[in-house]
Structure 1
Amino acid sequence: MSEITTHILDLVEGIPAASVRIKLFHIKEEERYFLNEEQTNQDGRLNQPLIEVAKPGTYELIFGVGDYFNRQSKRTFFTDVPIRFEVLAGEEHYHVPLLISPWGYQIYRGS
């Protein structure tokens, strides 16, 4: 099962980023196909995977970080953080965590 999951940490405050909107798209021939939208919980995680069975191919996550920082009355450089990545055949779990601040971010493939 090729699940796609994520979590978000606010590096400035040192806390999970709650109530961040995350959209998942499948990319095929440069066209985006919407698959799901979820929002992070109080622990900065999703209550369920964005998708439980991801077919091989290219996917894009859009993290709505601008709204998160605006709710905290913090100025930010980013409105959204788009991340594209490849799902390979036979790989089971894709955990794609995001570490954010108003002026930068880091993404990686977690476990």
Structure 2
Amino acid sequence: MTGFTKRAGGISIHAVDVAHGVPASGLSVCLKRLDPDPCQVALGVCAANGHFVNPVSEGEGVTRGLYEVTFGVAAYYRGNGIKLPDPAFVEEAVFRFGIDRVTEHFHIPFKFTPWGFSLFRGGS
């Protein structure tokens, strides 16, 4: 079969505020590709269920390369009326990861508190 192109598997993000046991509704997310061809791939906030709803989840804009996702942790807490030190211990959480097999789906669960966070490649 010639001309057949495999579709990118996508990058999905699910964020949970484990300090309060709730999905991180309104948490800002910025996803960039760093190499090759640096660009912003997705920008927005997590929905009420903590999922980052964006076409990148279905593979739009995803290619092989090095990526960086930034989460606005301190802004999320301040926006929810939580008093934090100034500057906060975690202003932003930044995670760099690589995609080699672009047809695979990359799920990134993000669990956080004002004092720390956990990021990893989860199941699809």
**TM > 0.5 between the two?**
yes
Amino acid in the other structure paired with 1:109: R
Offset of 1:59 from its aligned partner? 0.5
Asked whether the 8 Å contact 2:65–2:99 carries over to 1, the reply is: yes
Q: Percent identity?
A: 26
Instruction: Give the equivalent residue in structure 2 for 1:100.
Output: 112
Amino acid in the other structure paired with 1:66: A
Count of aligned positions: 110
Asked whether the 8 Å contact 2:63–2:102 carries over to 1, the reply is: no
C-alpha distance in 2, partners of 1:96/1:49? 15
Runs (5+) with no aligned partner, structure 2: 1-7
Q: Deviations over 1:14-73 (max 9, x none)?
A: 1101101101111127x8522220210111112234351421110010111111011122
Task: Please give the TM-score of this superposition, normalised by the length of structure 1.
Answer: 0.88
C-alpha distance in 1, partners of 2:23/2:55? 17
Asked if 1:66 corresponds to 2:78, the answer is: no
Asked whether the 8 Å contact 1:2–1:55 carries over to 2, the reply is: no
Matches within 5 A, 1:1-111: 1-28=8-35, 32-50=38-56, 52-53=59-60, 54-72=62-80, 73-75=82-84, 76-111=88-123
CA RMSD, aligned part only?
A: 1.8
Instruction: Give the equivalent residue in structure 1 for 2:3.
Output: none
C-alpha distance in 1, partners of 2:107/2:55? 9
Offset of 1:105 from its aligned partner? 0.4
Asked whether the 8 Å contact 1:38–1:50 carries over to 2, the reply is: no
C-alpha distance in 2, partners of 1:42/1:81? 20
Bigger mean CA offset, 95-104 vs 67-76: 67-76
* Greater radius of gyration (CA): 2
